[in-house]
Chain A
Amino acid sequence: MTWTLGMSRLLGQKRKQTDSKSPAESLTEQERILYNVIRNKQDMGIWTRDMKRETSLPDNVVNKSLKVLQAKNLIKEVVNIQNKGRKHYMATEFEPSKEITGGTWYVEGNLDTEFIQILKEQCTKQIYKLKVATLEGITDSIKRSGVLNVELTKQQIDEIVKALVLDNEIIELKSNGMGEFASIPVGKICYKCISKGSGGGEPKIGAMASIPCGVCPRIHQCTPDGIISPQTCVYYNKWLDF
């Protein structure tokens, strides 16, 4: 199994600690003002244009000071998921907030789809094995399986499981304490794989979706005698081509 991005991300140390505050003491007045503005924003950081507005310092001074502060390792440039083109700075002692990074599922401003896919597969597998599983059960089962040597929080598993429900891979149920729910307290939310009998796991294709009109992007322009009409429809030609 190769899953470089996800692995390296979660295995690597996330937090870097700044060990000394000493460089801050040798700053000029203007550098200090700018540093304080950035630092006050904590884990939200600040966009260069906002710095200029808040400090009322001229552009060249701000640009120069930013370089100095970066060189002294007091601030760092971060990617803001909301606006990747903007230059965004943050004091080094803070880790960017969820709003800035996009949350745990983002790496350097990009959604870690590969990692998410692996987790989805693992969760489905565990639920299938357990037949009916609670969130705790899934988390526990993944931990014990040892397939992932990363620590995942219950919150993370919860997000993955909720996404699987939207995928229609699993369904969310409430235990009634009977039958297969016997080991689960009544009223507790649990999950179950959708039986992959006839549909082969794919959602059932409805009556409308299985005819050309059901998926036609031009249905609004289609009239019996119009340029687009059922008699001349290309989708129909394709559909009826035996």
Chain B
Amino acid sequence: MRHTRQLFPSSRSGKVDLAHHQLETGPENTSYTNYHSQLNHSHILLATMSESEEVKKAIIKMALSETNTNNARQLMTSINRRCFDYCVPNPGSSLSDGEQQCINSCMEKYIKAWNEVNAAYLRRIQQEVGNNNISIGN
């Protein structure tokens, strides 16, 4: 997850991801299993409340991880396809230094393009929501 965040730092829409960030860096460092081994039966009421909290956080973490993994997978698939197209128009007997260099640059450029497109798309969605979904920004 940390890896994905480095890949496209500006790709996340403000509101939702601020919440994600807080969840991830929040004070939930005691792991789920550790918590169970420490469970004291004399504090059942307190334990029930925080147990629910622990399960909730585990579910949220799983969902976040799934979305982010899925996003990273889609991004890598697109990059491989587009940059191979772009950098290796005539495949030779090996990948040349130039082609390798091109792929590196292409990858960085593609991520920047993704962020641009994402920003434009979010802008457009917001515009449409502002127009109450009736007309599409014209």
A joins B in a complex: no
